Amino acid sequence: MSSKQVFYEGRVQGVGFRYSTRQIAMGFEVTGWVRNLPDGRVELQVTGAEDEVEEFLREIRESNLGPHIKSEEVHGLASLEGVSGFSIRY
C-alpha cells in the first residue's frame, strides 16, 4: 500500500478542483480526501496500491485540472487510517 499527501498550487480553488478530483477517484481503487486550504492551495491525501495511487495522481495532472496546476508537492505518508471512500473535506 502507498499513501501520499499532495499540495497543489495554482488556480486550484474556485474551478471545481475538489469535485473533479473526487470524480476521478471513482475510477480507481483508492481512498482519501481533498480539501481547500486557507492559503489558496488544495491538499489531497490518498492511499491504495502503489500503481493505483500513481495512476490516480497522473490522471489528475492529465485531466482538465492540469492547466490550473502551477506546481504540486508530493510527500509520502506512513498510512492513512480510518478513511473509507474518497471525500471532499471542508
Q: What is the pLDDT of residues 66-78, one digit of tens each?
A: 999 999 999 999 8
- Segment (H or E) for 69: strand 69-76
Distance between CA atoms of 47 and 19, rounded to whole angstroms?
18
Q: What is the pTM of this model?
A: 0.94
Best CATH choice for the domain 2-79 from the list 3.20.20.70, 3.30.70.100, 3.40.50.300, 3.40.50.2300:
3.30.70.100
Asked if 71 contacts 42 with a C-beta cutoff of 8 angstroms, the reply is: no
As annotated, the active-site residues are 18, 36
Distance between CA atoms of 20 and 55, rounded to whole angstroms?
15
Q: What is the pLDDT of residues 22-55, one digit of tens each?
A: 999 999 999 999 999 999 999 999 999 999 999 9
Angle at 57 between CA 11 and CA 37, to 5 degrees: 40
